[in-house]
Each structure stands twice: as structure tokens, then as C-alpha cells.
């Protein structure tokens, strides 16, 4: 299946052309001798000319850099183009014939310039691909540590307050119990003393009665009363015996501040020593020595494969299968162990093997968006744009709501294979109370991309470019390139690409008057592949947004491709909207 080419547009997405006059084919080669870029056919014609037999024609990426034009101060009509090794100075060809340079060794200055250019580019690549990203990662780690410290301190404060409150409650409880015990003792003593008081009341009353008896006895005129023994009832009873109560005593506890501190706990610093932050070794990052633009030198996490792969001149079908349980293939997520998660526009989400056998199936509220992804741990993550939540299915098949997105409705999601972050495309949903343009119930222009880290903390919100303009309208598919760029397929804005810091890099709006992007993915060569629902093709871009080719046109037998992904074998998996067919193609060699 050959790659087809559309007409070359007059836009910033214009691809590199052959430099031969009247030739509009793609540039692939470069003549170092005459410094001209050319296509395959023009290269062949160029080398057929006898005077060009010794010309050095190489791949465009391996070209020599043309020397900047600089005139010789001694011979103003000559360009400086050679280098004297003995004198260590650049010269023109006429200077080399002068007496002071006789017998000296000379080198082509263009070769030296190219080598130095490569060296500088390599150093720039190190800065761009290693030092800056590594420093940014460490800075992010520092910020995460600061957040964690604040959270730990808040937790300790809460624990300390809880301990103090608990101690206060215990003090109140003990005090209440002591007061109750004291009350009972007081009651018992008072009752006993009340009884003793009554005893004496009764005894005093008895004495009063006895006193009256004696008074009457004295007033009697009968002498016999005095000559006989006194009656027994006039014998005075002894004073009743009573006991003096034993009064309770209170022994106050002698507590110091240290004793209270022991009860409340103590803040201690661990004995562990601070450890150096782990800095990723530069040897793990590959740096290109070929002469490329700075943006072409982005980090390649699969460098070994990248060095051996290139675009093939044709696309070959490897296999296809029709997984049951879905009505169309709107999105595909790669799982571990050669498994796929496939969804349709009706919310059916099935897990299959590469033969199309269904392993499990769940019902969701998803539609024709890239609403599911698989994490580095193998967990399935999917959005629910009706409830504004993000769900997770772990290996044991438990479904939990673990992120709530407030009044933002999550459309698309991607789990980073670089650092495990989650990238979520979101929109606002609501009535047009502020005069916003609505499509159905969706506000045009109210959209963003949010980054969450591996602990599901919100790290970043990307919504506007450096001019304050809205970047997104409906980011329905999202992915990440191997250099950290965030690539979204936005139905109204086209393909929108920002770097990992959220700075807008470019937008791609197709090759004609209309472009309806849907499924999007990237490959090991940093290519961006996106489905176009209008032309029913797959567009192939480089990482800087330059259009390269069209894949799989309708004439080539693939109606309405809607979803794409690249598997672990660097094959392109394409799902169709109108059928449940998933086709696998080889397009790299």
C-alpha cells in the first residue's frame, strides 16, 4: 500500500522541497559539494553529469553546513574556506600560496565548521534533552517535597490538637468522677451527722421533760415524796455517745510542664540523614550527532529502536480482527501482556487479546472520545463526563472514583509512559448564562488540559497561549510525545501541541479547507499520527507539526478511521468508526 501525497499547501506546515528548479518533490538528499537539496530523482540526474562524479551526495540529515560567507582581509575578492593547521588560522585559497604558508598542512574549513557545528548541536542537545528536563524534574520533586512537608506538618498539628483534646476530655472525666465521689462522701457524712443531731435533739427534749418532772416533784407538798427513793423515771440517762466524723483530705498532684508534655506526646526528628536526590545519569539519554534543528533533538526514550527504524515507502497490513461487544472502535488503549482496551460510542468498553477474544467487559458513560488509558501499573483509568469524575479499575477489578473534577467535565485522558502523570482534557458544561457560544450544552472555548501526578495531585492547568488566547475548545483525544510534548486532537482547534511546561508549540489544521481530527498517537520516531474524519485518512506529522504524508485513504480500503495507537512492535493499530474492525499495519522498517 503506497503512501499518497496531497497538494503542497502554502502554509507554515509546508514540508521540505527539492531545491532543483521546477521540482516540487520532497527533499531527501543534499549535495555537500554544491550545497543543494534534492529529491531521489534529481540526485540521480545530478550524479549522471560527468563533472559531478566526485560530488558528495548524502542524506539531508547528514549534510555539511555551508560556511558563512566571509571575505579575506588580505584578498578581498576571495572567501575564507581553508584552515592552516600549522598557524591555526582560517585562510582563503590565495593565502595558502603565500610564502609564509609554504609546506604547511591545510584542512577544508567547511569540514571543521561542520564538526564544530555538530559538537555545538550535541551540547545544545544535552542542555535541551538532559540538563533542562532533569533540572525541571528535580525542581518538581523539590516542590512535591515542600507540599508533602506542609501536609505532614498539618497532619502533626491535627494529631497534637487531637491529643490535647483527648487529654482535656480525660481530665474532665476524672474531675467529674472525683466530684461525684466527693459528693457521695459529703452526703454520707452529713446523713450521719444529721442522725447524731437528731439524737441530741431527742436527748435534750428528754432532759426538758425530766426537768419539768423534777420541778413538779419539788412543788409537791407530800412529805412522803422526799422520804422515799426517787422513782426510776427520774433517774437521768447518760449523754448519748457519738463519734466525730473523719473528714476527707485532698492530695493535689504535683505535675510539671514536662509531665504534661509526656502526656501530650513529643515532636521528634528522625535519625535518618538527608540523602542526595537521585540525578538521572546522562548516559541514559541519547544525543544525536547529526545536524538537526533544536526541536529535532528531543529526548528519545527508545533510542536503540529509533536508530534502526525509519519510515517505510509503503504500508502493509499485518492482521485484523473484530472484537465482539463493541459497535465501532472509537478508542484503543494498550494494556500489558498483549492486551487491548477498546471502546465504542455507546459506552461499551472491552478488554481483548490480539486475537479478538474478550477478557472482560464493562459499561461506561463514554462516547467517541479517548476517555480511557492504562497506567504504568496496569490499572485502567476512565473518565465519566456526566458525573465529572475519573475512575480506576485495579488488577483485582475493583472500580473506584479517585479524582473529582468539580465543574469541569473530563473528556480525554492519557497516562504518561515517561513519568506516570495523568493528562486530562476537560470542558465546561452548562447553559449559556454568560453569553458563551454553545454546541448542545458545551461551551466553545471553555476547555483545558490538566496534569495530575502519580499521587493524583493536580500539578498543572493548560488553557491559554502566551497571548492569552484559548488553546482548546473540545480536546477529545490526548496523548504525549516521547519528548514530553502534550498532543491533543481538538474537534474545533485541530491538533494542538504544547511542551511539557504548557507553552504552545504549534497547531495543525489539516491540508485542506476542512479537518476533523479524532484519534491521535505518537511513535518511537516522534511522529504524530491523527485520524481525519472529514477526509477519512490518517495524517502523519513530524514532532514539529510538519506534514509528511497521508496514510490509509478510503481508496485504500479503510472507511472512516477514528482511532489509532502504536503497539509495542511499532505497528499502527487503526480502528473504524462504522465497524468493530481493528486493523494492524506495519509502516516502519
Helical pair 257-264 and 132-218, crossing angle rounded to 10 deg: 120
Site of grid cell 467529674: 176
HSE-up (13 A, CA, CB side) for residue 365: 12
The answer to pTM > 0.75 is no
Whether the CB-CB separation of 534 and 515 falls below 8 Å is answered with yes
Start-end of H helices in 233-272 = 257-264
Q: What is the spatial distance between Cα 63 and Cα 58, in angstroms, rounded to a whole number? A: 6
Q: What is the spatial distance between Cα 113 and Cα 68, in angstroms, rounded to a whole number? A: 9
**Spatial CB neighbours of 239, under 8 Å, sequence gap ≥ 6:** 203
pLDDT tens, the chain, 589 aa long:
444 333 334 433 445 788 888 888 888 898 988 888 999 899 988 998 888 888 888 888 778 777 788 899 999 999 888 999 999 999 998 898 898 898 899 988 888 888 888 888 788 888 888 888 889 888 988 988 888 888 878 878 887 888 888 889 888 998 999 999 999 999 999 999 999 999 999 999 999 988 888 888 777 666 665 555 666 667 888 999 999 888 888 887 778 888 888 777 777 666 667 777 777 776 555 554 443 333 333 344 444 445 567 888 788 888 888 888 888 899 999 887 678 999 998 999 999 887 778 888 999 988 889 999 999 888 899 999 889 999 998 777 788 888 999 889 999 999 998 888 999 999 987 544 444 444 443 445 589 999 998 888 888 899 988 787 889 999 999 999 998 999 999 989 999 999 988 889 999 999 878 899 999 999 999 999 999 988 889 999 999 999 998 887 766 657 788 999 998 889 999 998 888 888 889 998 8
Convert the pLDDT of each residue in 90-101 to its tens digit. 999 889 889 889
Q: What is the spatial distance between Cα 565 and Cα 531, in angstroms, rounded to a whole number? A: 11
Q: Which burial class, exposed, middle or buried, applies to 345 when counting CB atoms under 10 A from its CB (0-12, 13-18, 19+)?
A: middle
Whether the CB-CB separation of 85 and 106 falls below 8 Å is answered with yes
What are the structural domain ranges in the chain?
A: 120-264, 294-588
Pairing of strands 442-452, 348-353: unpaired
Q: What is the CATH number of domain 294-588?
A: 2.120.10.30
**Spatial CB neighbours of 221, under 8 Å, sequence gap ≥ 6:** none
- How big is the chain by its Cα radius of gyration, in Å? 45
- 115-143: string of b/e by CB count within 10 Å (b at 16+)? eeebeebeeebeebbbeebbeebeeeeee
**Cα–Cα distances in angstroms (integers) from residue 493 to residues 9, 77, 367, 445, 447, in the given order:** 18, 53, 20, 10, 11
Convert the pLDDT of each residue in 373-422 to its tens digit. 999 888 899 999 889 999 998 777 788 888 999 889 999 999 998 888 99
**Spatial CB neighbours of 342, under 8 Å, sequence gap ≥ 6:** 323, 326, 329, 331, 332, 349, 350, 351, 352, 575, 582
Tell me which H or E stretch contains 547.
strand 547-551
Site of grid cell 473504524: 576
Amino acid at each position: 500500500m503506497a503512501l499518497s501525497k496531497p497538494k503542497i499547501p502554502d502554509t507554515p506546515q509546508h514540508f521540505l522541497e527539492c531545491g532543483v528548479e521546477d521540482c516540487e518533490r520532497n527533499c531527501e538528499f543534499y549535495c555537500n559539494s554544491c550545497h543543494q537539496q534534492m529529491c531521489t530523482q534529481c540526485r540521480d540526474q545530478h550524479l549522471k553529469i560527468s563533472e559531478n562524479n566526485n560530488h558528495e551526495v548524502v542524506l539531508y540529515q547528514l549534510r555539511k553546513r555551508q560556511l558563512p560567507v566571509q571575505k579575506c582581509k588580505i584578498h578581498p575578492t576571495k572567501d575564507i574556506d581553508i584552515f592552516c593547521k600549522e598557524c591555526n588560522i582560517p585562510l582563503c585559497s590565495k593565502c595558502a600560496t603565500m610564502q609564509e604558508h609554504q609546506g604547511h598542512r591545510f584542512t577544508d574549513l567547511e569540514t571543521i565548521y561542520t564538526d564544530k557545528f555538530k559538537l555545538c548541536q550535541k551540547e545544545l542537545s544535552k542542555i535541551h534533552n538532559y540538563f533542562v528536563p532533569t533540572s525541571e524534574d528535580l525542581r518538581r520533586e523539590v516542590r512535591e517535597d515542600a507540599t508533602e512537608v506542609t501536609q505532614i506538618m498539618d497532619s502533626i498539628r491535627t494529631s497534637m490538637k487531637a491529643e490535647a483534646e483527648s487529654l482535656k476530655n480525660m481530665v474532665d472525666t476524672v474531675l467529674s468522677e472525683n466530684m461525684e465521689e466527693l459528693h457521695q462522701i459529703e452526703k454520707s457524712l452529713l446523713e450521719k451527722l444529721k442522725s447524731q443531731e437528731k439524737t441530741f435533739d431527742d436527748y435534750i427534749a428528754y432532759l426538758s421533760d425530766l426537768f419539768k418532772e423534777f420541778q413538779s416533784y419539788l412543788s409537791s407538798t407530800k412529805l412522803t415524796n422526799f422520804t422515799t427513793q426517787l422513782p426510776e423515771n427520774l433517774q437521768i440517762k447518760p449523754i448519748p455517745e457519738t463519734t466525730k466524723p473523719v473528714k476527707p483530705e485532698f492530695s493535689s498532684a504535683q505535675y510539671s510542664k514536662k509531665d504534661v508534655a509526656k502526656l501530650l506526646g513529643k515532636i521528634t526528628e528522625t535519625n535518618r540523614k538527608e540523602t542526595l536526590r537521585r540525578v538521572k545519569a546522562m548516559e541514559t539519554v541519547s544525543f544525536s550527532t547529526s545536524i538537526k534543528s533544536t526541536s529535532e533533538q528531543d529526548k528519545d526514550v527508545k533510542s536503540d529502536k529509533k536508530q534502526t527504524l525509519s519510515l517505510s515507502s509503503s504500508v502493509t497490513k499485518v492482521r485484523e480482527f473484530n472484537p465482539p461487544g463493541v459497535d465501532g472502535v472509537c478508542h484503543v488503549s494498550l494494556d500489558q501482556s498483549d492486551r487491548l482496551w477498546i471502546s465504542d460510542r455507546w459506552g461499551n468498553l472491552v478488554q481483548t487479546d490480539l486475537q479478538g477474544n474478550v477478557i472482560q467487559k464493562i459499561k461506561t458513560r463514554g462516547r467517541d472520545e479517548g476517555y480511557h488509558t492504562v497506567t504504568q501499573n496496569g490499572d485502567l483509568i476512565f473518565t465519566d463526563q456526566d458525573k465529572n469524575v475519573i475512575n480506576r479499575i485495579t488488577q483485582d477489578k475493583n472500580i473506584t472514583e479517585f479524582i473529582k473534577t468539580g465543574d469541569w467535565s473530563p473528556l480525554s485522558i492519557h497516562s504518561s509512559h515517561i513519568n506516570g502523570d495523568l493528562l486530562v482534557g476537560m470542558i465546561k458544561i452548562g447553559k449559556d448564562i454568560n453569553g458563551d457560544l454553545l454546541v448542545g450544552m458545551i461551551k466553545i472555548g471553555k476547555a483545558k488540559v490538566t496534569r495530575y501526578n502519580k499521587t493524583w495531585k493536580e500539578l498543572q492547568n493548560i488553557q491559554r497561549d502566551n497571548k492569552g488566547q484559548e488553546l482548546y475548545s473540545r480536546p477529545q483525544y490526548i496523548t504525549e510525545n516521547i519528548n514530553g510534548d502534550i498532543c491533543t486532537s481538538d474537534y474545533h482547534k485541530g491538533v494542538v501541541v504544547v511542551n511539557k511546561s504548557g507553552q504552545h508549540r504549534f497547531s495543525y489544521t489539516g491540508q485542506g479547507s476542512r479537518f476533523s481530527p479524532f484519534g491521535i498517537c505518537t511513535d518511537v520516531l516522534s511522529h504524530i499520527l491523527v485520524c481525519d474524519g472529514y477526509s477519512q485518512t490518517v495524517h502523519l506529522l513530524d514532532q514539529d507539526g510538519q506534514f509528511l504524508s497521508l496514510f490509509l485513504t478510503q481508496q485504500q480500503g479503510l472507511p472512516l478511521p477514528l482511532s489509532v495507537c502504536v503497539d509495542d512492535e511499532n505497528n499502527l493499530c487503526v480502528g473504524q468508526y462504522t465497524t468493530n474492525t481493528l486493523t494492524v499495519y506495519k509502516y516502519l522498517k
